[in-house]
Structure 1
Amino acid sequence: MDFQSLWTFPLDDEAVTREELQRRIHSRRLSGGAYVNGCDSLVQIMSRVPLLWPAAAFCWLLSRLGAGQPLYDVIARNRHFVPVGQCDLTCREAQKTGFAGKEEV
């Protein structure tokens, strides 16, 4: 596996746009080089970590039943994170209460 930041990833080909990268996690299949995203990308990543095989099987099943991508989209739309090194006093107070804010893209 080779992880790359969406902010520094070169977008040489037309297969994926920066907006798509912001909306969903993407990965490239080793065989054929086709991009997959969302739940299918998580299945690819989890299938390489033996402890996550049960979760990978569950996500694969959800994906095949047509519920994987919609569920992934709901979770992705509601994700919260704080950019590294950009947390001020207000942000630290929010972290104590369990809410770190939502980045608008």
Structure 2
Amino acid sequence: MVAIAEAFSWVGLLVAMAFKYGLGMPLGVTVMGWVHGLIFTAYVVTCLIVFSPLRWKFRVLVLALVSSVPPLASVWFERWANRRGLLTEPDSDEPTFWGRVRYALRELN
């Protein structure tokens, strides 16, 4: 849901930029820039939160984060990840990323 919202806010920002530079109406960029920034941040935070419980490899996390930069790429990533079953929590006894970090920190103490 956040990926789709991020893509729509990107499109809204592009339309607002067309109004600003084509018609001299800058208010849309002020509003849509703020909205897109908020949703973009939510997308990045969501990716960082879910990558561990979904047991994504680091390269999948990087792909998710990189897909937030080009317009509409977050929708492509969401569809790609869904087809590969990366958006459902796997049944696994393997420790999560943060579980491994916690273990490493405990061993260092």
TM-score normalised by L of structure 2: 0.26
Q: Max radius of gyration: which structure?
A: 2
TM-score normalised by L of structure 1: 0.26
